[in-house]
Amino acid sequence: MRRILLLTEYDGTLFAGLQRQRQGLRTVQGELEKALPHIGALPKAVAAGRTDAGVHALAMPFHIDLASPIPPEKVPEALNRLLPEDLKVVAAREVAPDFHARKDALWRAYRYRVLLRPHPSPLLRHRVLWLRRPLDLKAMEEALPLLLGRHNFLGFAKEETREGVRELLEARLEVLEGEMGPEVRFYFKGRSFLRGQVRGMVGTLLEVGLGRRSPESVKAILETADRRLAGQSAPAAGLYFLEAAYPEEKLKPPGP
């Protein structure tokens, strides 16, 4: 039995989220686990985190246990023949036997995309949040550093029952001139995130950018952990799980 790290890419539009749920709901984990026995793997896939319905991923890690002799480099091709068009494996490698995709993650990173132009894009309707009004980038850049460090982020979370203290390592934005129009992209990197935290932070930052609240208002949300003080959660369609990092020793397969 070998432990394999999979990196998956998916379009979250038609999924009810990443995590396996009640029967009848289509999930990323559920689709992946249906395919695993066909390549000689146990029908269990453990992800680095969770994404809600409509959220996308560029490189979501899973670990699986593989009993068949198939080489790791052949695993993506084998699984992709079985997986739906909106979920694919983009890379695979053998890792340490005790590697754990969730518990061993050093950090995780997310991106949120906002399209700024006078009219919506039918081609990007499930990929970005569209806004017709310009944003005050300077005001948002003043607010972003206030989120850095170790805080209670429950004020930005949704349906969260866990303890709220998390550490945010990076928070920044960039402006790109894309083919479909200018985009503002938020980037967040943290050791872990609460449910809905990124979308709550983005929704609040967009209110800052639209002049509906001051950059300093972020402080009160962090100090009180009161969700009522934050902005509405940004829609799921603009959010992407980017990547996760792991200790080098956990990424090494066992020796001969």
Which CATH number fits the domain that encloses residue 89? 3.30.70.580
Which CATH number fits the domain that encloses residue 210? 3.30.70.660
Give CA–CA dist 26/17, Å, rounded: 8
DSSP 254: P
Residues 62/101, Cβ–Cβ less than 8 Å:
yes
Q: What is the largest CA-CA distance in the chain?
A: 61
Domain boundary among 104, 138, 160: 104
Q: What pLDDT does 160 receive?
A: 78
Q: Which helix (H) or strand (E) holds 176?
A: strand 165-178
Q: Are residue 129 and residue 189 in the same domain, yes or no?
A: yes
**Burial tier of 156 (Cβ tally within 10 Å: 0-12, 13-18, 19+):** buried
Total domains, the chain: 2
Q: What pLDDT does 256 receive?
A: 67
Torsion of CA 74, 78, 80, 84, to 10 degrees: -160
Domain boundary among 51, 85, 104: 104
Q: Are residue 69 and residue 131 in the same domain, yes or no?
A: no
222 is a domain residue: yes
Region of 149 please: left (phi>0), alpha (psi -120 to 50) or beta: left
Global pTM? 0.95
85 is a domain residue: yes
254 is a domain residue: no
251 is a domain residue: no
Q: Are residue 78 and residue 141 in the same domain, yes or no?
A: no
Q: Are residue 124 and residue 223 in the same domain, yes or no?
A: yes
Q: What pLDDT does 22 receive?
A: 74
Helix (H, G, I), strand (E, B) or coil at 38: helix
Query: Can you give the residue range of the structural domain that contains 37?
Result: 2-104
87 is a domain residue: yes
* Closest residue by Cα to residue 165 from 146, 149, 155, 150: 150
Strand 239-245 versus strand 56-66 pairing type: parallel
Q: Are residue 64 and residue 126 in the same domain, yes or no?
A: no
250 is a domain residue: no
253 is a domain residue: no
Domain boundary among 79, 104, 129: 104
Told to judge if 52 belongs to the known catalytic residues of this protein, a careful annotator would answer: yes
Q: Are residue 25 and residue 69 in the same domain, yes or no?
A: yes
- What percent of the residues of the chain are helix, what percent strand, and what percent coil, each to the nearest 5? 25, 30, 40
Q: Are residue 235 and residue 133 in the same domain, yes or no?
A: yes
Q: Are residue 202 and residue 213 in the same domain, yes or no?
A: yes
35 is a domain residue: yes
Q: Identify the active-site residue in 11, 52, 86, 226.
A: 52
Q: Are residue 88 and residue 144 in the same domain, yes or no?
A: no
Give CA–CA dist 22/50, Å, rounded: 16
Q: Are residue 120 and residue 232 in the same domain, yes or no?
A: yes
Give CA–CA dist 89/77, Å, rounded: 8
Number of H helices, E strands in the chain: 5, 10
Q: List the pLDDT tens digit at each of the 256 positions of the chain.
A: 999 999 999 999 999 999 988 778 999 999 999 999 999 999 999 999 999 999 999 999 999 999 999 999 999 999 999 999 999 999 999 999 999 999 999 999 999 999 999 999 999 999 999 999 999 999 999 999 999 999 999 999 987 778 999 999 999 999 998 888 999 999 999 999 999 999 999 999 999 999 999 999 999 999 999 999 999 999 999 999 999 999 999 999 987 6
Q: Are residue 35 and residue 24 in the same domain, yes or no?
A: yes
Q: Are residue 112 and residue 238 in the same domain, yes or no?
A: yes
Q: What pLDDT does 95 receive?
A: 97
